[in-house]
Amino acid sequence: MAAGSLATRLRERLRGGPPLVGTFVKLPALESVDLVRSLGFDLAVVDGEHSQLDEGAILSLLRHGAALDLPMLVRTSTRDAGSLNRMIEAGAAGIQLSTLRACAERDALVSATRYAPDGTRSVSLAHPAADYSGIPLAQYLERSKEFPLLVGQIETASTIDPLPEILRGLDAAFIGTTDLSVDLGRPGMLDDARVTGRVSEIATAASSAGVALGAWVASADALAKLGDARFRYVLVGSDLQALRAGLSMVASAARKALA
């Protein structure tokens, strides 16, 4: 399935039905993408911000996800339109932009990811979603109209513009809980009132802007701490964190069995 269709399908699932579960992919290993898909995650987000993945590794993971029909977004802090375009051409179903704080940043994101007249993304057919020019240009443009998903990561105590305005036109607001808690002076204290208060503000803003709400938590049991926000999707941990947890259990169990 082309990346465009993956985006459309994911967008629909964000609008209704049971909330979705995903995780971050930080390891430079296609095995990780294989496993995320095989284990039934609804989506995955390649982490271009906090990982040792270089551009080649990011593109490679995105291509593999697209080949497997797994909806994959990419989380990035880059505002470079060229970089964003290469990731979308690789097969990213969406872009999750970190630390969104202003309408101008949102506008730049929309502009960089939509073709004229809706934006300024440069057009090419030299990638899988256009079947490497197997699809006529006009048809490709038509089918690309609502692609890709755009997610704004909200992770600061305050923003430059009002939250509901910043979020308008995006597909989802994503709460970067770690950075948010640090910025609020409550590192990792997700059930602190300052944190839950801010989470609630973001949830309200997302609702008023008509966009889905998502968040990252280190583990599923941390979800409850965030208050009664209604998440349309959550990202839980990462492949790297899962690897640590899995290896840690192996080590303990082995020590016990051999004692």
Of residues 107 and 131, the one with the C-beta less far from a copy of itself: 131
Of residues 171 and 239, the one with the C-beta less far from a copy of itself: 239
Cβ-Cβ contacts under 8 Å for 250 (sequence gap 6 or more): none
Of residues 8 and 51, the one with the C-beta less far from a copy of itself: 51
Whether residue 231 contacts residue 177, with contact meaning beta carbons closer than 8 Å, is answered with: no
| Closest approach of a copy of itself to the CB of residue 144, in Å | 11
Of residues 12 and 55, the one with the C-beta less far from a copy of itself: 55
Whether residue 251 contacts residue 54, with contact meaning beta carbons closer than 8 Å, is answered with: no
Query: For the chain, where are the alpha helices, taking DSSP H only?
Result: 3-15, 30-38, 55-67, 81-90, 103-113, 137-143, 163-167, 177-183, 193-209, 239-258
Of residues 6 and 57, the one with the C-beta less far from a copy of itself: 57
d(CA 189, CA 67): 39
* Phi–psi pair at 45, nearest 5 degrees: -125, 115
| Closest approach of a copy of itself to the CB of residue 136, in Å | 7
Amino acid at site 174:
F
Tracing tokens 């630390």 back to the chain, one arrives at 99
- Which DSSP string corresponds to 168-179? TT-SEEEE-HHH
What is the H or E stretch that residue 159 is in?
A: none
Of residues 11 and 26, the one with the C-beta less far from a copy of itself: 26
Of residues 164 and 183, the one with the C-beta less far from a copy of itself: 183
| Closest approach of a copy of itself to the CB of residue 95, in Å | 13
d(CA 103, CA 247): 43
| Closest approach of a copy of itself to the CB of residue 28, in Å | 6
| Closest approach of a copy of itself to the CB of residue 139, in Å | 10
d(CA 128, CA 247): 37
| Closest approach of a copy of itself to the CB of residue 190, in Å | 11
Q: Which two tokens stand for residue 226?
A: 């965030």
258: left (phi over 0), alpha (psi -120 to 50) or beta: alpha
| Closest approach of a copy of itself to the CB of residue 157, in Å | 9
